[in-house]
């Protein structure tokens, strides 16, 4: 890696890398095969401050910025994207939504245990019939006195079965005339164990299999009015702003997995010989490695730039979408070429690249597909020029 980071950020990188090599790498394939959520490692990461990287110390967080956060997710994902995405979803989505718009009581009650790693967060926007068109969600929240009554189903929810605190979007009223279909959506904080609130089907996924993903079922769930996040009817706008920051971490997720796949391919190319010489001496392999390394560095620069803009309080949404789009697609290309370099061995589970190949695809889908990122980026460009 050729990017020069501040000394304290580089020290953090080395700390997280050593942790990942020691505590995660020995278990990666067994977790993947059994879909085992690494709760012990997540607890350790909480004790290290990694489950509250971006939140002030007054709320139990580590008081760091998005650059440090991107490096943490990158280094965890270099070894196992399942752990990386758990840290990303917990910080960027559930916890950050509460931090951004929650009142002081909500922050003290919910953000403090989340940021300190004592509770695990989940975030519910997507539904079976509303993915990219998130404003078409059907979950309802009807006001009855001092409570809202929530009914509906969420899907593809990270930490759905293992989460403790949830931020869930639901429709509190129909859209006002002249407004988009997303108008009238509100955000609520729910707790595990609320009557009528439960996890549904746990998904059997292509990749990132140790990351818990499931449905959420809401049947007449009574949620106190005090658990409404921000104003009634503006939850969709809150969700979109939350996703802007989340895209930096998903970019870092893809970057870390790309780096891991690249390192495995590079290592293999030096020890595997064909036609009397190491693979690395063949020009065709060298060209692949050159392209992979160049694209990884370009992705890293885009991600760190977006993180830097956010840390400085500057507009960053376009940069975050660019970083997420490029990094996720680079990850897919790099993992594909890593499998190609290993040939038949790249296709079997004795070597790590087949897992990277399966894992990286989620990055082009989660927190806004590549198509949605291109739409977002184009809107900014058309407004600018």
> How far apart are the C-alpha atoms of 52 and 107, rounded to whole Å?
13
Whole-angstrom Cα Rg for the chain:
21
Spell out the alpha helix ranges (H) of the chain.
Answer: 7-19, 28-34, 39-48, 66-79, 81-89, 96-101, 104-106, 112-115, 235-271, 283-311, 317-342, 353-359, 370-384
> How far apart are the C-alpha atoms of 39 and 225, rounded to whole Å?
32
Catalytic residue among 10, 281, 367, 371, which?
A: 367
> How far apart are the C-alpha atoms of 37 and 116, rounded to whole Å?
19
367: annotated active-site residue: yes
Beta bridge partners of 229: 187
Please give the C-alpha separations between residue 147 and each of 88, 141, 207, 226, 278, in angstroms, as whole numbers. Answer: 31, 9, 39, 8, 68
Q: What is the DSSP letter of 234?
A: B
* Residue 232: strand, helix, or coil: coil
| Of 324, 320, 318, residue with least CA distance to 379 | 318
CA angle 204, 329, 76 (to 5 degrees): 65
Residues catalogued as catalytic: 367
């Amino acid at each position: 890696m050729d990017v020069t980071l501040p000394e304290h950020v580089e020290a953090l990188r080395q700390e997280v890398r050593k942790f990942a090599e020691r505590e995660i790498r020995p278990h990666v394939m067994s977790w993947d095969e059994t879909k085992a959520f690494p709760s012990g490692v997540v607890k350790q990461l909480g004790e290290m401050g990694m489950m509250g990287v971006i939140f002030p110390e007054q709320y139990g967080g580590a008081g760091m910025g998005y650059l440090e956060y991107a490096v943490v997710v990158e280094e965890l994902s270099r070894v196992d994207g399942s752990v990386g995405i758990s840290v990303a979803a917990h910080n960027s989505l559930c916890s950050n939504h509460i931090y951004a718009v929650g009142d002081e009581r909500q922050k003290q009650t919910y953000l403090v245990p989340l940021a300190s790693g004592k509770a695990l967060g989940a975030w519910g926007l997507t539904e079976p019939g509303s993915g990219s068109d998130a404003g078409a969600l059907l979950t309802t929240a009807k006001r009855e006195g001092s409570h809202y009554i929530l009914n509906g189903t969420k899907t593809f929810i990270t930490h759905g079965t293992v989460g403790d605190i949830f931020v869930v979007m639901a429709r509190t009223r129909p859209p006002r005339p002249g407004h988009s279909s997303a108008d009238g959506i509100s955000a609520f904080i729910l707790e595990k164990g609320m009557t009528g609130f439960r996890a549904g089907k746990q998904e059997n996924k292509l990749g990132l299999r140790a990351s818990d993903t499931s449905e959420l079922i809401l049947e007449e769930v009574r949620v106190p009015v005090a658990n409404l996040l921000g104003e009634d009817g503006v939850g969709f706008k809150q969700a979109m702003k939350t996703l802007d920051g989340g895209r930096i971490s998903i970019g870092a997720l893809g970057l870390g997995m790309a780096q891991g796949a690249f390192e495995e391919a590079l290592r293999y190319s030096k020890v595997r010989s064909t036609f009397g010489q190491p693979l690395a001496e063949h020009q065709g392999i060298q060209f692949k490695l050159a392209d992979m390394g160049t694209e990884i560095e370009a992705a890293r620069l885009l991600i760190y730039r977006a993180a830097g803009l956010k840390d400085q309080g500057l507009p960053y949404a376009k940069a975050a979408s660019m970083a997420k789009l490029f990094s996720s697609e680079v990850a897919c290309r790099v993992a594909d070429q890593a499998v190609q370099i290993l040939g038949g061995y790249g296709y079997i589970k004795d070597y790590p690249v087949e897992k990277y190949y399966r894992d990286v695809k989620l990055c082009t889908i989660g927190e806004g597909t590549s198509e949605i990122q291109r739409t977002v980026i184009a809107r900014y460009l058309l407004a600018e020029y």
